[in-house]
Amino acid sequence: MFLLDGNNTSFLAQLLTILKQWDTWLFLKINNDWTSPFLDHNYPWWREATTWVPLYFFLLLFAFINFGFKVWPWVVFFALTLLISDQISSGILKDWVGRPRPCNDDVLMSHVHLLLNRCPSSGSFTSSHATNHFAAACFLFYSMREYFKKWGYLFFLWAATISYGQVYVGVHYPLDIICGAILGSGIGSLTAYIFNKRIGLPQLLIEKNIQIQK
């Protein structure tokens, strides 16, 4: 079979070696060279999930204030998006791929500038931070694009800075982030498409009130 041809196997092995070398080189650049005291101080808390609890609370308030309690299917889909992305990344891919984090790699760990108190024991590929945040960004953008308008793109900037922080603090390789972002974007886009196609957002309360007054 073509897929089992020795030349193709050799080419694939060489490609993976080049990718790994590039990945390690870029990791060391971000983690060791492209640093600053400001980022060293702020990235450990910026990437923490608890930091963004106020944002999630604001989004819930925004949804309920503008659409009322009929917006609950949107809330369920948003939560389902995060659940699916986290289960695929953390529950399936990390164990299946089994790639050690740079801060747990026997060869690389002595060169890692680890900014956290510990190095997580879970696998490195894919980054759940990248997967989850890009899934959230895509779902929010595509399900509420009409209402966020041009500000919706800030969700992608938010996801990107958090994902970059995973490399900066020393717990992920760039390829973990890139693949996690692609995976999360696919999941978020799919759930948003299904939500928009099957359910959709309810009418804005202000529009409903105007119609009642007429």
Whether the model pTM is above 0.85: yes
Residue 207 has pLDDT above 70, yes or no: no
Number of domains in the chain: 1
| CB neighbour list of residue 76: distance below 8 Å, 6 or more residues apart | none
Whole-number Å distance between alpha carbons of 24 and 175? 9
What is d(CA 160, CA 181) in angstroms, rounded to the nearest whole number?
A: 8
Look at residue 36 and give its three-state secondary structure: coil
The whole domain housing 77 covers 2-213
Tell me the pLDDT tens digit for each residue of 163-200.
Answer: 999 999 999 999 999 999 999 999 999 999 999 999 99
Nearest-angstrom CA–CA distance, 137 and 184 = 9
Tens of pLDDT, residue by residue over 49-59, are: 899 999 999 99
Residue, of 209 and 154, whose pLDDT is higher? 154
Q: How confident is the model at residue 203 (pLDDT cuts 50, 70, 90)?
A: confident
Q: What is the DSSP string of 164-212?
A: HHHHHTTS--HHHHHHHHHHHHHHHHHHHHHHHHHT-PPPPHHHHHHHH
Expressed in percent and rounded to 5, the helix, strand and coil fractions of the chain are 80, 0, 20
Tokens of 113: 């500038």
pLDDT of residue 206: 61
- What's the CA gap between 35 and 27, in Å, rounded? 12
Model confidence at 146: pLDDT above 50: yes
> pLDDT tens digits, residue range 74-113?
999 999 999 999 999 999 999 999 999 999 999 999 999 9
Q: CATH code at 104?
A: 1.20.144
